[in-house]
């Protein structure tokens, strides 16, 4: 059987005494576009942060491309896989953050070429070629030599997407990428993601509050509450005929906004 690209198995995650995930199971197959929706504080961002090993776990297994991110040590409990292995895993994942996280002292182009050169050992010529193609993809070829602080929020986020794609990841993780934007800038960013989904068949895992967008582009939508998937399914089924009361109440509140 084909391995999922991402797999959480019986995962436990706590912050101090607060349990975020208990016996949590979740997976994403290659080629799938999965959206996670749900109320604030339900653990959606934590899920992505665990994948990026920005957060640890207390139990269970998280696998990326079939390989675990942590292993068990008899004295220390769960410890991250060695740096070489994590480095390899991170190459499978590209993350776009809510607040862009661009390097302010680097030009747009350098923001995109930095990781391919420093992490993947690409030459400047190779990295520049990738950056030029990606800047074209996100419609910002004319901004290559500008610095992030001279761009609009929507343009910054499009650079954020290009930067994540520059590492040629197998999956793109998108953490509420439009929630820090003024409403008139949201569509230009969503258009880039639409294009990736429709024309490039990219595997994606999105945490989003953009319900209409999740419904439009996802293969599967998961409604998350209190660290658990309450309900999941194809968007048309989940959005039109949610079974669970919690899903119904959440969608009613969000879709009427």
Ligand X SMILES: Nc1ncnc2c1ncn2[C@@H]1O[C@H](COP(=O)(O)OP(=O)(O)OP(=O)(O)O)[C@@H](O)[C@H]1O
CB 115 within 8 A of CB 167: yes
Least distance to ligand X, CB of residue 172, Å:
17
Instruction: Determine the interface stretch with ligand X among 37-45, 69-77, 119-127, 149-157 (rule: CB under 6 A).
Output: 37-45
Number of chain positions touching ligand X (CB under 6 A)? 9
Nearer to ligand X, 166 or 224 (CB): 224
Residues 6+ apart with CB under 8 A from 43: 13, 20, 21, 224, 226, 227
CB 21 within 8 A of CB 43: yes
Asked whether position 15 contacts ligand X by CB under 6 A, the answer is yes
Asked whether position 41 contacts ligand X by CB under 6 A, the answer is yes
Least distance to ligand X, CB of residue 256, Å:
18
| Tokens, residue 253 | 């509140």
- Of positions 34, 37, 42, 100, contacts ligand X by CB under 6 A: 42
Asked whether position 20 contacts ligand X by CB under 6 A, the answer is yes
| Tokens, residue 85 | 């292995």
Asked whether position 251 contacts ligand X by CB under 6 A, the answer is no
User: In 3-state terms, what secondary structure has residue 34?
Assistant: strand
Nearer to ligand X, 44 or 122 (CB): 44
Q: What region, left, alpha or beta, does residue 11 occupy, with left being phi > 0 and alpha being psi -120 to 50 degrees?
A: beta
Nearer to ligand X, 31 or 41 (CB): 41
Asked whether position 45 contacts ligand X by CB under 6 A, the answer is yes
- Of positions 44, 92, 122, 163, contacts ligand X by CB under 6 A: 44
What are the phi and psi torsion angles at 239 (to 5°)?
A: -75, -30
Q: Give the separation between CA 28 and CA 13, rounded to whole angstroms.
A: 19
Least distance to ligand X, CB of residue 101, Å:
15
Stated length of the chain? 257
Strands (E) in the chain, as ranges, are: 6-15, 18-28, 33-37, 59-64, 67-68, 70-73, 77-80, 93-96, 171-175, 203-207, 220-225, 228-233
- Of positions 43, 148, 154, 235, contacts ligand X by CB under 6 A: 43
- Binding to ligand X (CB under 6 A) within 123-142 occurs at none
Instruction: Determine the interface stretch with ligand X among 26-34, 44-52, 64-72, 122-130 (rule: CB under 6 A).
Output: 44-52
- Binding to ligand X (CB under 6 A) within 162-201 occurs at none
Binding site for ligand X (CB under 6 A): 15, 20, 40-46
């Amino acid at each position: 059987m084909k391995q999922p690209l991402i797999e959480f198995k019986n995962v436990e995650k706590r912050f101090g005494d607060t349990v975020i995930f208990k016996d949590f199971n979740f997976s994403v197959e290659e080629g799938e576009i999965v959206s996670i929706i749900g109320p604030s504080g339900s653990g959606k961002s934590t899920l992505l942060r665990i994948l990026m090993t920005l957060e640890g776990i207390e139990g269970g297994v998280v696998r990326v491309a079939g390989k675990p991110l942590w292993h068990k040590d008899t004295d220390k409990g769960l410890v991250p896989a060695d740096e070489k292995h994590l480095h390899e895993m991170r190459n499978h994942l590209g993350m776009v953050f809510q607040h862009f996280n661009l390097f302010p002292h680097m030009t747009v182009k350098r923001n995109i070429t930095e990781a391919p050169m420093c992490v993947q050992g690409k030459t400047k010529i190779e990295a520049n070629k990738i950056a030029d193609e990606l800047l074209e993809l996100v419609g910002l070829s004319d901004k290559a030599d500008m610095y992030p602080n001279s761009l609009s929020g929507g343009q910054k986020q499009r650079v954020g997407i290009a930067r994540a794609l520059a590492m040629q990841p197998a999956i793109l993780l998108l953490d509420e990428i439009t929630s820090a934007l003024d409403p008139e800038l949201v569509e230009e960013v969503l258009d880039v993601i639409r294009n990736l989904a429709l024309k490039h068949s990219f595997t994606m895992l999105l945490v989003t509050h953009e319900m209409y967008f999740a419904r439009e582009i996802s293969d599967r939508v998961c409604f998350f509450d209190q660290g658990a998937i309450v309900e999941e399914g194809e968007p048309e089924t989940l959005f039109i005929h949610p079974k669970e009361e919690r899903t119904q109440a959440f969608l009613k509140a969000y879709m009427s906004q």
